[in-house]
Amino acid sequence: MALNTALQNRSNNVCELCTEKDENLTAYAVPPKNDDSNDNVVVVCSKCLAGITAADFSDSNHWRCLTGSIWNEVPAVQALSYKLLGKLKSADWASEALESVFLEEAVIEWANAEDEMEASKVVHKDSFGVVLEAGDTVILTQNLNVKGANFIAPKGTIVRKIRLVAENAEQIEGKIEGDTIVILTKYVRKQV
Ligand SMILES: [Zn+2]
Protein backbone atom coordinates (compact mmCIF):
# COMPACT_ATOMS: atom_id res chain seq x y z
CA MET A 1 0.00 0.00 0.00
CA ALA A 2 1.29 3.46 -0.85
CA LEU A 3 1.88 5.69 2.10
CA ASN A 4 -0.61 8.34 3.01
CA THR A 5 0.59 11.75 4.09
CA ALA A 6 0.30 11.03 7.80
CA LEU A 7 2.48 7.94 7.46
CA GLN A 8 4.97 9.80 5.33
CA ASN A 9 5.25 12.39 8.05
CA ARG A 10 5.40 9.86 10.86
CA SER A 11 8.16 7.85 9.21
CA ASN A 12 10.03 10.77 7.60
CA ASN A 13 9.88 8.56 4.52
CA VAL A 14 12.31 6.02 5.89
CA CYS A 15 11.76 2.45 7.04
CA GLU A 16 10.53 2.55 10.63
CA LEU A 17 12.58 -0.53 11.43
CA CYS A 18 15.95 -0.05 9.73
CA THR A 19 15.69 3.68 8.77
CA GLU A 20 16.65 2.94 5.17
CA LYS A 21 15.34 5.19 2.47
CA ASP A 22 13.55 3.06 -0.06
CA GLU A 23 11.41 3.94 -3.04
CA ASN A 24 9.11 1.08 -2.18
CA LEU A 25 8.21 1.89 1.39
CA THR A 26 5.10 -0.08 2.36
CA ALA A 27 2.58 0.10 5.17
CA TYR A 28 2.69 -3.32 6.86
CA ALA A 29 -0.18 -4.22 9.21
CA VAL A 30 1.20 -5.90 12.32
CA PRO A 31 -0.66 -9.22 12.78
CA PRO A 32 -3.20 -10.15 13.95
CA LYS A 33 -4.43 -6.68 12.95
CA ASN A 34 -5.17 -6.77 9.29
CA ASP A 35 -6.60 -3.41 8.42
CA ASP A 36 -4.39 -0.64 7.24
CA SER A 37 -5.37 2.12 9.61
CA ASN A 38 -2.30 4.15 10.50
CA ASP A 39 -2.28 2.91 14.08
CA ASN A 40 -1.94 -0.70 12.96
CA VAL A 41 0.80 -0.37 10.41
CA VAL A 42 4.56 0.03 10.30
CA VAL A 43 6.30 1.69 7.39
CA VAL A 44 8.83 -0.84 6.13
CA CYS A 45 11.36 -1.01 3.32
CA SER A 46 11.34 -3.84 0.81
CA LYS A 47 14.23 -5.60 2.55
CA CYS A 48 12.50 -5.64 5.94
CA LEU A 49 9.21 -6.66 4.36
CA ALA A 50 10.83 -9.55 2.50
CA GLY A 51 12.44 -10.80 5.71
CA ILE A 52 9.20 -10.56 7.65
CA THR A 53 7.08 -12.33 5.04
CA ALA A 54 9.64 -15.09 4.54
CA ALA A 55 10.34 -15.30 8.31
CA ASP A 56 14.00 -15.03 7.34
CA PHE A 57 16.00 -13.42 10.12
CA SER A 58 19.37 -14.90 9.19
CA ASP A 59 20.94 -11.52 8.37
CA SER A 60 21.50 -10.56 11.97
CA ASN A 61 23.48 -7.44 11.07
CA HIS A 62 20.42 -6.12 9.33
CA TRP A 63 18.02 -7.02 12.14
CA ARG A 64 20.13 -5.30 14.76
CA CYS A 65 18.15 -2.27 13.62
CA LEU A 66 15.38 -3.57 15.89
CA THR A 67 17.36 -2.55 18.96
CA GLY A 68 16.72 1.01 17.79
CA SER A 69 13.21 0.69 16.42
CA ILE A 70 11.88 -0.86 19.61
CA TRP A 71 12.29 2.58 21.20
CA ASN A 72 10.03 4.16 18.58
CA GLU A 73 7.06 5.89 20.18
CA VAL A 74 4.53 4.33 17.80
CA PRO A 75 2.91 1.25 19.40
CA ALA A 76 2.74 -0.64 16.08
CA VAL A 77 6.49 -0.21 15.61
CA GLN A 78 7.10 -1.31 19.19
CA ALA A 79 4.92 -4.39 18.76
CA LEU A 80 6.54 -5.43 15.51
CA SER A 81 10.06 -4.83 16.82
CA TYR A 82 9.30 -6.80 19.97
CA LYS A 83 7.83 -9.63 17.98
CA LEU A 84 10.79 -9.82 15.59
CA LEU A 85 13.35 -9.54 18.39
CA GLY A 86 11.58 -12.54 19.92
CA LYS A 87 12.49 -14.55 16.82
CA LEU A 88 16.11 -13.55 17.31
CA LYS A 89 16.35 -13.87 21.05
CA SER A 90 18.94 -16.64 20.91
CA ALA A 91 21.36 -13.82 20.09
CA ASP A 92 22.57 -11.91 23.14
CA TRP A 93 22.01 -8.48 21.63
CA ALA A 94 18.37 -9.35 20.92
CA SER A 95 17.58 -10.79 24.33
CA GLU A 96 19.28 -7.77 25.95
CA ALA A 97 17.15 -5.43 23.89
CA LEU A 98 14.00 -7.29 24.93
CA GLU A 99 14.97 -7.07 28.58
CA SER A 100 15.99 -3.44 28.57
CA VAL A 101 12.85 -2.02 26.99
CA PHE A 102 9.70 -1.17 28.88
CA LEU A 103 6.52 -1.53 26.89
CA GLU A 104 2.84 -1.25 27.67
CA GLU A 105 1.17 -4.56 28.41
CA ALA A 106 -1.13 -4.10 25.42
CA VAL A 107 1.84 -3.76 23.09
CA ILE A 108 3.39 -6.98 24.35
CA GLU A 109 0.06 -8.78 23.99
CA TRP A 110 -0.19 -7.50 20.46
CA ALA A 111 3.35 -8.68 19.70
CA ASN A 112 2.63 -12.16 21.04
CA ALA A 113 -0.92 -12.55 19.76
CA GLU A 114 -0.20 -14.19 16.43
CA ASP A 115 2.15 -16.82 17.85
CA GLU A 116 -0.31 -17.62 20.60
CA MET A 117 -3.14 -18.06 18.14
CA GLU A 118 -0.90 -20.32 16.10
CA ALA A 119 0.09 -22.37 19.13
CA SER A 120 -3.49 -22.89 20.30
CA LYS A 121 -4.66 -24.14 16.94
CA VAL A 122 -5.61 -27.81 17.05
CA VAL A 123 -3.85 -29.64 14.24
CA HIS A 124 -4.37 -33.36 13.76
CA LYS A 125 -1.39 -35.30 12.43
CA ASP A 126 -0.92 -38.96 11.67
CA SER A 127 1.90 -41.11 13.03
CA PHE A 128 4.22 -39.68 10.39
CA GLY A 129 3.36 -36.08 11.11
CA VAL A 130 1.17 -35.66 8.04
CA VAL A 131 -1.72 -33.29 8.64
CA LEU A 132 -5.13 -34.97 8.68
CA GLU A 133 -8.31 -33.38 7.49
CA ALA A 134 -11.96 -34.30 7.87
CA GLY A 135 -12.98 -36.76 5.18
CA ASP A 136 -9.51 -38.29 4.82
CA THR A 137 -8.95 -42.02 4.60
CA VAL A 138 -6.51 -43.51 7.10
CA ILE A 139 -4.96 -46.92 7.66
CA LEU A 140 -4.44 -48.39 11.10
CA THR A 141 -0.75 -48.85 11.81
CA GLN A 142 -1.35 -51.37 14.56
CA ASN A 143 -4.05 -53.67 15.91
CA LEU A 144 -6.68 -51.70 17.71
CA ASN A 145 -8.65 -53.07 20.60
CA VAL A 146 -12.05 -51.48 20.16
CA LYS A 147 -13.33 -50.88 23.64
CA GLY A 148 -16.95 -51.75 24.22
CA ALA A 149 -17.36 -53.36 20.82
CA ASN A 150 -15.43 -56.43 21.77
CA PHE A 151 -13.35 -56.84 18.66
CA ILE A 152 -9.91 -56.06 17.42
CA ALA A 153 -9.49 -54.02 14.29
CA PRO A 154 -6.36 -55.40 12.67
CA LYS A 155 -3.42 -53.34 11.56
CA GLY A 156 -4.00 -52.31 7.95
CA THR A 157 -7.71 -51.67 8.42
CA ILE A 158 -8.83 -48.82 6.20
CA VAL A 159 -11.00 -46.18 7.80
CA ARG A 160 -12.72 -43.82 5.41
CA LYS A 161 -14.18 -40.37 5.92
CA ILE A 162 -12.67 -39.67 9.28
CA ARG A 163 -13.88 -36.84 11.49
CA LEU A 164 -11.56 -34.72 13.57
CA VAL A 165 -12.23 -34.38 17.29
CA ALA A 166 -12.38 -30.61 17.58
CA GLU A 167 -10.65 -29.99 20.89
CA ASN A 168 -8.21 -32.89 20.84
CA ALA A 169 -5.42 -33.07 18.29
CA GLU A 170 -4.70 -36.67 19.25
CA GLN A 171 -8.12 -38.04 18.40
CA ILE A 172 -10.14 -38.68 15.28
CA GLU A 173 -13.37 -40.59 14.76
CA GLY A 174 -14.10 -43.16 12.11
CA LYS A 175 -16.32 -46.10 11.36
CA ILE A 176 -14.97 -49.60 11.79
CA GLU A 177 -17.41 -52.43 11.11
CA GLY A 178 -20.32 -50.05 11.35
CA ASP A 179 -19.34 -48.60 14.71
CA THR A 180 -18.07 -45.06 15.02
CA ILE A 181 -15.09 -45.14 17.31
CA VAL A 182 -12.45 -42.77 18.55
CA ILE A 183 -9.02 -43.56 17.16
CA LEU A 184 -5.74 -42.07 18.32
CA THR A 185 -3.93 -40.24 15.55
CA LYS A 186 -0.64 -41.87 16.55
CA TYR A 187 -2.01 -45.23 15.39
CA VAL A 188 -2.99 -44.17 11.89
CA ARG A 189 -1.35 -43.30 8.62
CA LYS A 190 -3.03 -41.06 6.07
CA GLN A 191 -3.78 -42.74 2.78
CA VAL A 192 -2.71 -40.48 -0.04
ZN1 LIG B 1 13.87 -1.65 6.62
Which pLDDT tens digit goes with each residue over 85-111? Answer: 999 999 999 999 999 999 999 999 999
User: In angstroms, what CA-CA distances link 114 with 15, 17, 34, 111, 188?
Assistant: 23, 19, 11, 7, 30
State the distance from the centre of ligand 1 to the C-alpha of 10, rounded, in angstroms: 15
Nearest partner of 183 among 151, 145, 148, 150, judged by Cα: 145
Across 28-34, average pLDDT: 94
State the distance from the centre of ligand 1 to the C-alpha of 118, rounded, in angstroms: 26
Please tell me whether the overall predicted TM-score, pTM, comes out greater than 0.85 for this model: no
Predicted pLDDT at 146: 79
The full set of domains in the chain, from first to last, is 5-120 (no CATH), 138-190 (2.30.30)
State the distance from the centre of ligand 1 to the C-alpha of 51, rounded, in angstroms: 9
State the distance from the centre of ligand 1 to the C-alpha of 102, rounded, in angstroms: 23
State the distance from the centre of ligand 1 to the C-alpha of 49, rounded, in angstroms: 7
State the distance from the centre of ligand 1 to the C-alpha of 149, rounded, in angstroms: 62
